[in-house]
Amino acid sequence: MAEDKVHVSAAGHNLAPQPTERPTEIARPIIEVAHLHKAYGATVAVDDVSFTVQHGEIFGILGPNGAGKTTTVECLSGLRVPDGGTIGVLGLDPQRDRHALRGLVGVQLQEGSMPPKLTVWELIDLFASFYGNPADAGELLDLLGLTAKRGAYYKRLSGGQKQRVSIALALIGNPKVAILDELTTGLDPQARRETWGLIEGVRDRGVTIVLVTHFMDEAERLCDRVALIDSGRVIAIDTPVGLAEREGGGNHMRFHPSRPVDDALLTALPQVDQLEHQGDRIVVSGSGDLLNAVISALATADTEAKDVQLQSATLEDAFVRLTGRRSENSEQDGQR
């Protein structure tokens, strides 16, 4: 998307640029939030939140209840006026440029805000009329598996179908950015998985997605990067795997060496942070490709790793370490 790029000249090039040569393009973030602050009276909901989202990303906003996630995305979508900081969405200000952004940003509405006495088709048609360049409603119903339900009253739909309607309404304006808050709350495991597939399909159509969630499995499966927010502040931003590795206490490999080994052989590896003996077993903790690094190092000493057990840090581990709390869905995660 040309309007979302800044052009950088090919500095340091020895030859004069050929007519076919194009300047290097660096994608400018689609969303830029800097030092966002928002209080409700004496309650500081968002203290100091900064992050950027690139075109085509699924960006997760994770955090415990009351962390300030919803307030942050409400400021992004122009529904709340921040007290401080700056927000740019597609280079526009959600307050000052509210009208220009209306068709560019789709927001998932919560169930309570839907008129219940309309059919699925009437709802979609009504929302389409709000936009200058709406998506093809029939195609959208198809994409979301709602075609068979087009004549059904909204209030008669199942939880999963209502959720899909709310996604359809977020997308009917043909937005470049979709903001989805608690996408799969209340859905059964099958419906959650189907919804994840749909969201990936939406991203593949070029829509950048900001996803508020407190489900760790959802963030691990869907998000390219996540911002972990606690008490109104960003405490970490990374890929789910990076966050798990960096903050989750590392990966652990437990094994029996086929013969005694010098600890230094393993502690010298950049992947190994810690080594512990548990009886005649060795437990190494670290990051990166711990397994192959250890096996290769052992091989240089004609030693094999037997009865290998691997334990990888998860996003939930990182969440617990960083916030001091378990995520609200840790029990649900356990049922996976």
**How far apart (Å, rounded) are the C-alpha atoms in residues 220 and 236?**
15
Cβ 66 to ligand ADP shortest distance, Å: 4
Number of residues assigned to the chain:
336
Q: Which of 23, 66, 138, 189 binds ligand ADP (CB under 6 A)?
A: 66
Report whether 87 contacts 93 (CB < 8 A).
yes
**Is 213 an interacting residue with respect to ligand ADP (CB under 6 A)?**
no
**Is 71 an interacting residue with respect to ligand ADP (CB under 6 A)?**
yes
Count of residues binding ligand ADP (CB under 6 A)? 11
Q: Which is nearer to ligand ADP, 186 or 201 (CB)?
A: 186
Cα dist from 307 to 172, 252, 272, 310, whole Å = 54, 14, 19, 10
**Is 9 an interacting residue with respect to ligand ADP (CB under 6 A)?**
no
**How far apart (Å, rounded) are the C-alpha atoms in residues 28 and 177?**
14
Cβ 67 to ligand ADP shortest distance, Å: 4
Cβ 232 to ligand ADP shortest distance, Å: 7
Q: Which of 7, 8, 43, 262 binds ligand ADP (CB under 6 A)?
A: 43
**Is 70 an interacting residue with respect to ligand ADP (CB under 6 A)?**
yes
**Is 108 an interacting residue with respect to ligand ADP (CB under 6 A)?**
no
Name the one range near ligand ADP by CB under 6 A: 59-67, 191-199, 243-251, 260-268: 59-67
Q: Which is nearer to ligand ADP, 47 or 245 (CB)?
A: 47
Q: Which is nearer to ligand ADP, 16 or 42 (CB)?
A: 42
Beta strand residue intervals within 23-95, DSSP E: 24-27, 31-40, 43-53, 58-62, 84-89
DSSP state of 104: T
**Is 33 an interacting residue with respect to ligand ADP (CB under 6 A)?**
no
The one-letter amino acid at 331: E
Pairing, β 177-181 against β 272-278:
unpaired
**Is 327 an interacting residue with respect to ligand ADP (CB under 6 A)?**
no
Cβ 9 to ligand ADP shortest distance, Å: 43
Q: Which of 65, 113, 278, 300 binds ligand ADP (CB under 6 A)?
A: 65
CB contact set of 82 (below 8 Å; sequence gap of 6+): 36, 37, 38, 46, 75, 95
**Is 45 an interacting residue with respect to ligand ADP (CB under 6 A)?**
yes
Closest to 256 in 3D by CA, of 211, 298, 206, 314: 298
**Is 158 an interacting residue with respect to ligand ADP (CB under 6 A)?**
no
**How far apart (Å, rounded) are the C-alpha atoms in residues 154 and 29?**
37
Q: H/E element holding 217?
A: helix 216-222
Closest to 67 in 3D by CA, of 240, 228, 237: 228
Cβ 243 to ligand ADP shortest distance, Å: 18
Taking the CB of residue 16, how many other CB atoms lie within 10 A of it?
6
Cβ 85 to ligand ADP shortest distance, Å: 15
Q: Which is nearer to ligand ADP, 76 or 297 (CB)?
A: 76
- List contacts with ligand ADP (CB under 6 A): 40, 43, 45, 63, 65-71
